[in-house]
């Protein structure tokens, strides 16, 4: 069993902990929260072996194989660096780091700790429906880009409209729509099409100074991918990948709930795989494979592929912010 510690106690960590249990590959060795009440309540609810209010104590005392980071984006870097220094592997929620500088420092630390594995928790690109899209894409003779949309009103935007500054909507916590929702379609584009040659970002700014919604353009030479996302409005449109006369459609870029393909006559074929018990289950199973058998050739190949996606996503998110002159306090060391 893989001994894991968690950082963060909101819905995404709860979902992760349930996925860990379903996978039967992990034991929840420790949970961390800054607040003792929150830490003990989360530990009790999820039968964790221990709870901590000091992150370093957890790394030193809990005998962890891996730590899962679902803290505010701006904190990922420091927490990942400490875990790596303690020879503990890291699963970090997307987007992994605030900027290029941080990712480069993490890469250097990983090179010094070659047994440590690093995973970015881009759950959707580990799902069976992602693999169904990959397979359908490989069957197209011509690829003419895609239009990916992920836009869902966040109740936290009610707080912003009332004058508040919730973490996910503030530059101080490296927040905003690009980091929080844009990362899903951008990861998907990178996993399917590789690194774009050029990018542009058209954000719509909100009262906190962050982007509440936006339109990103990823250019690939032969085609473009348009990426629409936002937390201040609701979209009901499907996402699409364009062949010549064929079109692959997908529902909900974050969950990839439904995948279909239209042929040239407009006839539609359902490519969807069975529903998942938990949307994070495939990624934690994938990560467990690599953690328990790191020298297996397939696991090595997968690990390098995921790392390449993570590095590319980090570059692209950063280039998009730069193109729109959107800076975070975390960028001050650039």
Residue 221 or 274: which CB sits closer to its own copies? 221
Sorted by sequence, the CB contacts under 8 Å of residue 67 that are 6+ apart come out as 4, 5, 6, 7, 58, 59, 79, 83, 88, 89, 90, 91
Residues 94-113 that bind its own copies (CB under 8 A): none
Shortest spacing between CB 127 and its own copies, in angstroms: 21
Q: Is 91 within 8 Å of 67 (Cβ atoms)?
A: yes
Give the separation between CA 25 and CA 3, rounded to whole angstroms: 9
Rg (CA), the chain: 20
* Token couple for 268: 């539609």
Task: Tell me the closest approach of the beta carbon of residue 138 to its own copies, in angstroms.
Answer: 18
Among 305, 323, 290, CA closest to 65 = 290
Q: Which string of x and - marks every residue 118-147 that binds its own copies (by CB under 8 A)?
A: --------------------------xx-x
**What is the number of residues in the chain?**
334
**Considering only residues 258-277, where is the footprint of its own copies by CB under 8 A?**
262, 264, 266
232 binds its own copies (CB under 8 A): yes
- The answer to whether the Cα torsion of 15, 18, 22, 28 is positive or negative is positive
> How near is the Cβ of 22 to its own copies at its closest, in Å?
29
- If phi > 0 it is left, if psi is from -120 to 50 it is alpha, else beta; for residue 325 that is left
Binding-site residue total for its own copies (CB under 8 A)? 38
Name the minimum Å distance from CB 235 to its own copies: 6
Phi, psi of 191 (to 5 degrees): -65, -35
Q: Are strands 26-32 and 89-93 parallel, antiparallel or unpaired?
A: unpaired
Closer of 87 and 153 to its own copies (Cβ): 153
Note whether 256 and 129 are within 8 A (CB).
yes
Residue 76 CB, shortest distance to its own copies, in Å, is 29
Residue 271, both tokens: 């490519």
Maximum pairwise Cα distance, the chain: 62
Q: SS3 helix, strand, coil % of the chain, rounded to 5?
A: 45, 20, 35
Name which position in 230, 314, 317, 319 contacts its own copies (CB under 8 A).
Answer: 230
- Minimal distance in Å, beta carbon 318 to its own copies? 20
Q: How far is the CB of 53 from its own copies (least distance, A)?
A: 38
Q: Which of residues 199-228 bind its own copies (CB under 8 A)?
A: 200, 202, 204, 213, 215, 217, 219, 222-224, 226, 228
SS3 label, residue 147: strand
Q: Quote the least distance from Cβ 91 to its own copies, whole Å.
A: 32
First-residue to last-residue Cα distance in the chain: 40
Cβ–Cβ under 8 Å, residues 291 and 2: yes
Taking residues 175 to 204 in sequence order and writing x for each that binds its own copies by CB under 8 A, - otherwise, the string is -------------------------x-x-x
Cβ closer to its own copies: 128 or 202? 202
**What would the x/- binding string for its own copies be over residues 150 to 169, using CB under 8 A?**
-x-x----------------
Query: Restricting to residues 235-254, which ones interact with its own copies according to CB under 8 A?
Result: 235-240, 242-247, 249
Contact 18, 281 (CB under 8 A): no
Residues that bind its own copies (CB under 8 A): 144-145, 147, 149, 151, 153, 200, 202, 204, 213, 215, 217, 219, 222-224, 226, 228, 230, 232-240, 242-247, 249, 262, 264, 266
């Amino acid at each position: 069993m893989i001994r894991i510690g968690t950082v963060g106690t909101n819905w995404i960590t709860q979902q992760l902990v349930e996925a860990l249990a379903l996978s039967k590959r992990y034991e929840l060795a420790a949970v961390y929260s800054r607040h003792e009440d929150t830490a003990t309540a989360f530990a009790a609810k999820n039968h964790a072996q221990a709870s901590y209010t000091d992150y370093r104590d957890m790394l030193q005392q809990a005998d962890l194989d891996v730590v899962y980071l679902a803290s505010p984006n701006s904190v990922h870097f420091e927490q990942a660096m400490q875990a790596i220094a303690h020879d503990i592997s890291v699963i970090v929620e997307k987007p992994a780091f605030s900027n290029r500088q941080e990712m480069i420092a993490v890469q250097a630390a990983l090179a010094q700790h070659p047994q440590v594995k690093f995973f970015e928790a881009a759950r959707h690109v580990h799902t069976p429906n992602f693999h169904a899209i990959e397979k359908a894409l490989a069957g197209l003779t011509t690829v003419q880009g895609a239009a990916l949309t992920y836009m869902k009103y966040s109740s936290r935007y009610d707080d912003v409209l009332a004058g508040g500054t919730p973490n996910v909507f503030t530059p101080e916590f490296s927040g905003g729509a690009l980091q929080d929702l844009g990362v899903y379609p951008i990861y998907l584009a990178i996993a399917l099409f590789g690194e774009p040659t050029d990018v542009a970002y058209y954000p719509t700014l909100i009262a906190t100074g962050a982007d509440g919604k936006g339109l990103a353009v990823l250019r690939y030479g032969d085609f473009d991918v348009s990426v629409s996302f936002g937390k201040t409005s609701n979209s009901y449109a499907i996402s699409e990948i364009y062949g010549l006369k064929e079109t692959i459609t997908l529902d909900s870029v974050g969950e990839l709930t439904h995948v279909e393909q239209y042929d040239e006559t407009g006839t539609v074929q359902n490519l969807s795989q069975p529903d998942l018990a938990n949307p994070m289950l495939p990624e934690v199973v994938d990560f467990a494979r690599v953690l328990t058998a790191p020298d297996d050739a397939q696991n090595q190949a997968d690990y390098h592929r995921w790392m390449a996606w993570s590095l590319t996503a980090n570059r692209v998110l950063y280039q998009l912010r730069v193109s729109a002159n959107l800076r975070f306090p975390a960028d001050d060391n650039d």
